[in-house]
Amino acid sequence: MVVTLNGMTLPSWASHVEDKLAPMPLLLVQAFVDTLDRDQGTDILADPDEARAWLAGTGLRASDPGRPDPDFADDLRLARAARESIRALIGRNTGDEPLSPGDLAPLEQVLGQVQPRLEAGTDGRVRLGPVLPARTLADGLLGLLLIIRDAQADGSWDRLKLCGNPDCRWAFYDRSHSRRGAWCDMASCGNRLKNRNLRARRAQLSEPRPA
Ligand SMILES: [Zn+2]
C-alpha cells in the first residue's frame, strides 16, 4: 500500500504516522518510534508476525519466510527497548531531562554487537555504514543511529519532537516557522490537555479557601 500526502509518496511502513512527517530518511526514525501508539493502545512491535513484516519492510531486519528464526524473540525485545531509548533521545529536543545510563543501555547493547564502518561506494562516495536494508537487527538499529547522527549534523533533528501530552509521547516533526509546536495533534492532545488543565484550575478555584 502506498499513501500519498502533500504530493510525497509514503512508503507503506510509514502509513501509521499520517501527519507531521519528518523528511526521509529521518522519517524512518519517526516511524520506528511511533510503532507504539499509546493513544490507540496499539503496538506494531507487539505481535511477532506483524513486527517481523514491519522490520523487513523497513529494511531494519531481513527475514526469510519459512526459515526458523530462533533469535527473533530476543531481537523483538531489543527493538522495543531501543525504541524507548530513541524516544528518550528525541525527548531532549522537547526539554526532557538528560538520559540516564538505563535509557542508553539498549543502544550500548547494539554498539557492543556492531560498529560503524566506512564504506566506499561505486558512486565514488564515502559513507558510514552499514546502510539499510540491513541483514541483522543490530545492523538495522545502527543504521537508525547513523540517520540520527546525520540529522543532528544538518539541523533537522531539532524539529523531531515528542508530544507534550505525557500519556502520548508520539514523535512528530515540527515544520512550523516558529518551531514551537508542542502537540502531535492539537485536536486530540493539545485541546485534551488544555481542557484537563482548565478543569483542574476551576476545581482549585471552587475549593473553599482555608479560613
Ligand atoms: Zn499527542
Confidence of residue 1 (pLDDT cuts 50, 70, 90): very low
Average pLDDT value for residue range 5-24? 85
178 CA distance to ligand 1 middle (Å): 19
177 CA distance to ligand 1 middle (Å): 20
23 CA distance to ligand 1 middle (Å): 20
Q: Which grid cell sits at 69?
A: 528464526
76 CA distance to ligand 1 middle (Å): 25
122 CA distance to ligand 1 middle (Å): 43
115 CA distance to ligand 1 middle (Å): 34
Average pLDDT value for residue range 38-66? 94
Q: Which grid cell sits at 77?
A: 525485545
Looking at 30-44, 62-76, 105-119, which range is the least confident one?
62-76
Q: Could you tell me if 63 and 56 are in contact, meaning their C-beta atoms sit under 8 angstroms apart?
A: yes
Q: Which grid cell sits at 86?
A: 530513541
Instruction: Single out the residue of 39, 84, 44 nearest to residue 185, CA to CA.
Output: 39
37 CA distance to ligand 1 middle (Å): 9
20 CA distance to ligand 1 middle (Å): 12
pLDDT of 207 higher than 70: no
194 CA distance to ligand 1 middle (Å): 12
pTM: 0.88
33 CA distance to ligand 1 middle (Å): 13
Look at residue 3 in the predicted model and tell me its pLDDT. Answer: 47
pLDDT of 2 higher than 60: no
187 CA distance to ligand 1 middle (Å): 9
Residue indicated by cell numbers 510509514: 14
The beta strand positions in the chain, using DSSP E, are 3-5, 8-10, 36-37, 42-43, 117-120, 126-129, 160-162, 171-173
Tens of pLDDT, residues 98-125: 999 999 999 999 999 999 999 898 999 9
Mean pLDDT, the chain, integer: 90
